[in-house]
Structure 1
């Protein structure tokens, strides 16, 4: 009787998930990823997390769902397709434009997913009794291993979750519950001998299949990294100013949205391929207005301009020089330093030398002075 009732609860969950817009729902147990803790410890030991100190601080809770919440008995994993309608790599050839990762071209998915999870969790709790907790990826939950254990997909060689139905384009969320639900079977790894995601990486961020060194990853460099981007990676960034979709885009399991299932979030037209010229002109108020409700807003205007200036330097477009020169006097050292590099890529040597004589003499920030000293001319 109890088993039949639990199966009924699970069907109820699947119906509720579909009703609010999730594409996949599956269940696993809190002890389903025993290897995750050791893999996380090795990742941290190798320093592959870069400056993301929060990963070290939450490692114990992240390694085991039961440590995060001892009362949990079942974990409900949910996934929402956000696949693009068009090839996101096409914008990389348009050097006067900026490439923003597909997931960030609309509203912040954390807000969208969490609201939907709360709807499902409250209805489930009302029917099943017991307690529930909802998590999106800002919490110390290893969502990808749990989703793989639940059978939603498998972690590909690029370390992201891959689904046979939706490829690499899935937002994940979880509901922890004290209710005991029948778990689903894990998904099998279907990568085979394919290494397309590894070979396309512009910065060689994968030291081996299924391992990512975030310190070399463009998503990390443009979003998480707070200081100047190391010169060795700047050319490889191209016009990617927020995240990178290369390894996701080439996965052979992908289907563009119009060929398969409709993605739940449509890209804003003004964020698909914005002009670098317009982005370089953003002050703080304009940046906040443009990216209101977008995850891009979280990195702040200075980091965003750092990225846009590197894209400008890679563009070969000398019509951007007036804006680059203006940003040499920006209040932020991070912006000024990136502007020096962009100037070195775009300006004629005599112009660069003239500006260096005038501006470097009064520069007080060591990182910006280093840019003036080492700029290519």
Structure 2
């Protein structure tokens, strides 16, 4: 079984991103944004883009790997993977798929990335305009459940009802992201702090989600460069190692809409144990968490399903002081996350996890040898990732 693991076998040696824009405001086409982020990651690693031989992405990224390879001068394209599923459930899976290609000998230098230009191709957060629908939307749309917020609010409300979770827990999650964004000049919401009264007075989008419980929509791109661990120290950037990764969903999570056996769930009840098993560590070893926020309710459930607290302890654990770097019990979304840094389908969270382990975050957690990334709670499939320093191997 030793060979059936990613632990310590692959290193992230470069990270790169573009400027993050409000949706529709990028001056560049999506393909150009992808190239900019990849080139920035190459510069961070100290390599030329022609050294890349693999690409990995998710959520039906429109930037074709062969076209990227041609534009970057790649000499030999060896691996191209795309994770199934919409939304941000594949952000960690893209890293895992690229790492698996390296560990399996299919590639030697893989870039995982995500690019978005919603002004060019349309918004993700809108209800679909197509006259024909299939899948779970065919069950939901006739009853007016058209948007992700409506669909996921019911899961979150059910969890909150079953475990007595108060609105203040969701507020703490939102305020932690905004507080960390004030220390991050890259964040779209930098300079726009969130207070309790501002949160409480904001309009309902769909209960229990206020305006500030919902992610932004943005344009931009982000990328990471991965290589075999034995080559990790040949590059300019401080290497950060993949400790574990997992992807999937719970039993019958895609059963007819709102009829899954484990309904009030973020979809991590079976995925999280796989992650910690591969990494050989537990929740107590994690120094910071970068959790995808489509909505704060998903973060609430995902943290519980990753074992940071029992569901009935959510009100006590999810207090703002516990979620802030550097003094909180579990610093959360230390760059601002999807709520306040940007919405890059959650890939910016992977970059922040790398920064935490490197010790270069704008909101550094004191325990930063291990950082956890959680992708796409409440969608399917979901994915997660643990990255760590050389000392953790």
**TM-score after normalising by structure 2:** 0.26
- Greater RCO (CA < 8 Å, at least 6 residues apart): 2
More strand by share: 2
Larger helix proportion of the pair? 1
Q: Which has the larger radius of gyration?
A: 1
